[in-house]
């Protein structure tokens, strides 16, 4: 027995199969689309091919990965349980709903499902920025049960995006209060800024707070919020037009740091 295990991951609909040692370190991966097995070391070549045998389809190229960057090497060294990159938009909510879906019949819709729909809508929009030099991490866990809904990293800087379901409702923003329709105002912008501050502490870099409203009929902002942006799900991609802050190497280094769960354990 080689002691190797194969761990599948998905990102933007693309599958990769990582070959891991018993301690969780990756030593190779199989890229189905490229039909290539990338080996980090030739020492375990045959063991890797044996482990991947049931998954290989057709002829494949085998060899070292094409000149990995320091950020890529850092990512490959992550234990799969510590890598946040495969998280889906609303990952924490999806897990919670799978564990406890709630009663089949209820008078009002489960608010968790509305929150999940909001995170999915914003997350899908942010994921579309990936080809423009941006990276997005979803459902980044913070100590105490909190989380950053989406962390956007790219040439324009870092953004902690908090989503709010506002379908067919009027939204009034009077910093720090946010009012949905006729509901009681909530000091939501304090939470948005606090999440961004914790992310800044973890990454030792400035992280800008963003509130993303999903599906509002109207948005009234009484005055520009302090240090925070207000966007809707239809214009969240405008964040990609921001630039001139981070170099590509800095973006990759921060992304490699942010995707490691251990980065967030003491914030």
pLDDT, average across residues 212-239: 93
| Predicted confidence band of residue 115 (pLDDT cuts 50, 70, 90) | very high
Question: What are 51-103's pLDDT values in tens digits?
Answer: 999 999 888 999 887 655 666 666 667 788 899 999 999 999 999 998 888 77
pTM of the predicted protein model: 0.73
Mean pLDDT of the chain: 88
Question: What are 118-171's pLDDT values in tens digits?
Answer: 999 999 999 999 878 899 999 999 999 899 999 999 999 999 999 999 999 999
Question: What are 195-207's pLDDT values in tens digits?
Answer: 999 999 999 899 9
Q: Are 254 and 263 in contact (CB under 8 A)?
A: no
């Amino acid at each position: 027995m080689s002691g190797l295990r194969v761990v599948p991951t998905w990102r933007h609909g693309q599958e990769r199969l990582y070959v891991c040692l018993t301690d969780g370190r990756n030593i190779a991966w199989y890229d189905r689309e490229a039909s290539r097995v990338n080996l980090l070391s030739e020492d375990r070549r045959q063991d890797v091919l044996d482990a991947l045998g049931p998954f290989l389809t057709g002829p494949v190229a085998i060899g070292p990965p094409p000149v990995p960057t320091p950020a890529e090497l850092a990512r490959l060294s992550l234990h799969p349980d510590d890598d946040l990159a495969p998280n889906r938009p609303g990952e924490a909510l999806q897990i919670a709903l799978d564990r406890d879906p709630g009663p089949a019949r209820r008078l009002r819709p489960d608010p968790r499902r509305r929150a999940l729909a909001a995170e999915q809508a914003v997350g899908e929009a942010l994921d579309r920025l990936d080809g423009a030099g941006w990276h997005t991490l979803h459902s980044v866990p913070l100590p105490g049960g909190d989380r950053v809904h989406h962390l956007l990293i790219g040439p324009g800087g870092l953004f902690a995006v908090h989503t709010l379901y506002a379908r067919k409702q009027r939204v009034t923003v009077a910093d720090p209060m946010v009012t949905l329709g006729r509901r009681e105002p909530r000091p939501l912008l304090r939470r948005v800024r606090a999440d961004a501050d914790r992310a800044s502490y973890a990454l030792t870099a400035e992280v800008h707070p963003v509130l993303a409203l999903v599906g509002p009929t109207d948005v009234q902002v009484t005055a520009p919020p302090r240090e925070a942006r207000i966007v809707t799900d239809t214009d969240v991609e405008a964040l990609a037009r921001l630039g001139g802050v981070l170099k590509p190497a800095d973006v990759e280094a921060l992304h490699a740091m942010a995707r490691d769960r251990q980065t967030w354990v003491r914030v």
